[in-house]
Structure 1
């Protein structure tokens, strides 16, 4: 089997509250030689389709509804004949980018199976109301979207976000995972749960 976790990086803009920021996004293609799940269809469908390479796509999963994570989700879902999944609490954000396109709602505890790998949804609000991390115990991995990065929690300074809520999500959900769990982030480098959670008290102090 090929590497079960492949990274594609695309470049574009994140837009919210009237602002626009240049960003590089990680798209994670997870599975085996026959089927995969795509996490976060950002900016440009072409490189993602190339990475999929003709394999069956079980789902296009959006970790949250910010435009830079859903840019080409409907296009990719149609091209690859795959459902687009996202938590319904982020519908207001989704509609900012795709006012006439629909997605399939996922809930906390839902699971997907791809190439013998189980992926379980962990609802982790804070960066956005419907942020969801996906835990893959068999891969010692969690796909965190913008909930947790190398260096701390995702941003909460814009609409529909809340710092105390993201801290609670990290401590109550991600912090309960084994410390060696690798965190595959929405932007930037990977980290581990253990390397980040040791700084939790510093994050709390930062927000007080």
Structure 2
């Protein structure tokens, strides 16, 4: 089985405070040892990943987004994909796949993105971070996950099993070659990062993406 860790960055104006409803507080308290009250939590909305082609010539399938929605529930938020516990800042408590009416992906599909809500516990030490999120300084986010397949858009070959000869970005019989990330196996974390790569616009929101990765065999 091939394991691929993908990192996809988003700049959405997405880290903003949300009013905490009773239902949301109930979901949050599923992840805590002692129940939190509304005044103790800060909630932010995050765009995790989408089904559009990014600068690396890759995209998540719509089916992958739906499965990732389940896998990312309860995952932690950190900085720069640094796994140290001291870098933990937030935790996802709710996810959903959102369709943007009238928006079409580069390859002509209806645009969909995986959205999440995460919570932070308000403390004396993270007051500045919350202010930076509310002030739009901390915007960019990135996800790390393992995908089971990476498919060629031209012939459907799985790149984890070997090259098919089609190059990303090339055209073959009028078909653009890109890679489709499918069948998620695991979601690890999402992270605040500094540098976005691909910028898209949607009304007053902006979205930027970046994905790095490497694959390795696992048993």
Give the TM-score, by structure 2 length. Answer: 0.23
- Which protein has the bigger helix share? 1
- Is the radius of gyration larger for structure 1 or structure 2? 2
Higher relative contact order (CA 8 A, sep 6+): 2
